[in-house]
Amino acid sequence: MALDEFQLIQRFFKERCAAYSTNVCLGIGDDCALVNVPDGFCQALSMDTLVSGVHFPETTLPQDIAYKSLAVNLSDLAAMGASPAWFSLSLTLPAIDEDWLTAFSEGLFELANEVSVPLIGGDMTKGSLSITVQIAGHVKECVAMKRSTAKVGDDIYVSGTLGDAAAGLRVHAHTDLTEEFAPLIRRLNRPTPRNALGGRLAGVASSCIDVSDGLMADLTHICVSSQLGADLHVASLPVSQSLQNLLHRFSMNEREKLKLLLGGDDYELCFTAPEAVESMVKTVADQAGVPVTKIGKMKVGDTVDWVGLDSDVLSLTQCGFKHF
């Protein structure tokens, strides 16, 4: 006999969830979960929905869909400098497929248990495939990294490399390329949330955002919130070896390259910090094991301007992902 909704939740989610932390008084299985926030801390909250065919290709494996759904939410906590505390999951499925659910829950708890964030509840409904995660973390309010607090003259940094996921999206459907460019496809399907870095940047960086919509779009959010402009050095944008290989293999020009670099879905941190703390930024990046690159500077104004960009590429100032 097919499992009902409650048995499915028990089997694929409750049983696979690692032990709850001391801050979770009551987990999956009642009308509400009950949690505590440690004294002196604020709760940071973010909610992201991933829709099949919009946020991931329809051919994406269930374990990767699950991994990405949690990773993009963890990334929002990283951008705030908050430590992950718990998450809830609403899963909408066209039908029950136990193999699919087995794979999905494996991908989910691979990441959840790695970062020790328990699943405390959620919902399971019938409909077109989509996944909503609400995540919560803890952070001291005085060091939470907002978008609105960048200052004139602050350096702009980005973690890791840009454009890998956008490149992965271009090659994932070409079976003759998937092996050669597996690292790019992995960056698309399994983004690495930068929580170790974000937690250490709290109190050091003056503002932070995670790069989901694309560097230009997301840096613009910092600029608008902080009522400032920015200069971006195009030659400084960090590019992975895998992406270099792709650019070379397909003889892509500067315009095509920049389009990938600004394509979004990176889940790197873009943050600002005063010049005076540059050595501290390098230290915490080393501690977190994540490279960071200085890519520009905040300035008076209301535009993001490129430095070192050929005029024929300059029209490509707005790139990134828009839903509507």
Contacts of 176 (CB under 8 A, 6+ apart): none
Query: Residue type for 220, please?
Result: T
How far apart (Å, rounded) are the C-alpha atoms in residues 224 and 53?
A: 30
CA torsion sign for 70, 134, 172, 259 is negative
List the one residue from 70, 80, 111, 239 that touches its own copies (CB under 8 A): 80
Binding marks (x or -) toward its own copies, 111..130, rule CB under 8 A? ---------xxxxxxxxx-x
- In the block, residue with structure tokens 């870095």: 197
List the one residue from 185, 209, 228, 234 that touches its own copies (CB under 8 A): 209
Nearest approach in angstroms of CB 210 to its own copies is: 6
CB nearer its own copies, residue 49 or residue 240: 49
Nearest approach in angstroms of CB 299 to its own copies is: 22
20: buried, middle or exposed (CB in 10 Å: 19+, 13-18, 0-12)?
middle
Q: Is 79 in the site for its own copies (CB under 8 A)?
A: yes
Q: Is 8 in the site for its own copies (CB under 8 A)?
A: yes
Query: Residue type for 154, please?
Result: D
Q: Is 317 in the site for its own copies (CB under 8 A)?
A: no
Q: Is 15 in the site for its own copies (CB under 8 A)?
A: no
Buried-state track 200-229, b at ≥16 Cβ within 10 A, e below 16: bbbebbbbbbbbbbbbbbbbbebbeebebb
Binding marks (x or -) toward its own copies, 132..151, rule CB under 8 A? x-x--x-x-x--x-xxx---
Could you give phi then psi for residue 318, rounded to 5 degrees?
A: -105, 110
The one-character DSSP state at 12 is I
H-helix segments, 134-277: 164-171, 182-189, 195-201, 215-226, 241-249, 254-261
Q: Is 46 in the site for its own copies (CB under 8 A)?
A: yes
Q: Is 308 in the site for its own copies (CB under 8 A)?
A: no
Q: Is 10 in the site for its own copies (CB under 8 A)?
A: no
Q: Is 43 in the site for its own copies (CB under 8 A)?
A: yes
273 neighbors 155 (Cβ within 8 angstroms): yes
Q: Is 76 in the site for its own copies (CB under 8 A)?
A: yes
Q: Is 258 in the site for its own copies (CB under 8 A)?
A: no
Nearest approach in angstroms of CB 136 to its own copies is: 8
Q: Is 302 in the site for its own copies (CB under 8 A)?
A: no
Q: Which residues make up the interface to its own copies (CB under 8 A)?
A: 2-5, 8, 25-26, 29-37, 42-55, 76-77, 79-80, 82, 88-90, 92, 95-96, 120-128, 130, 132, 134, 137, 139, 141, 144, 146-148, 208-210, 225, 322-324
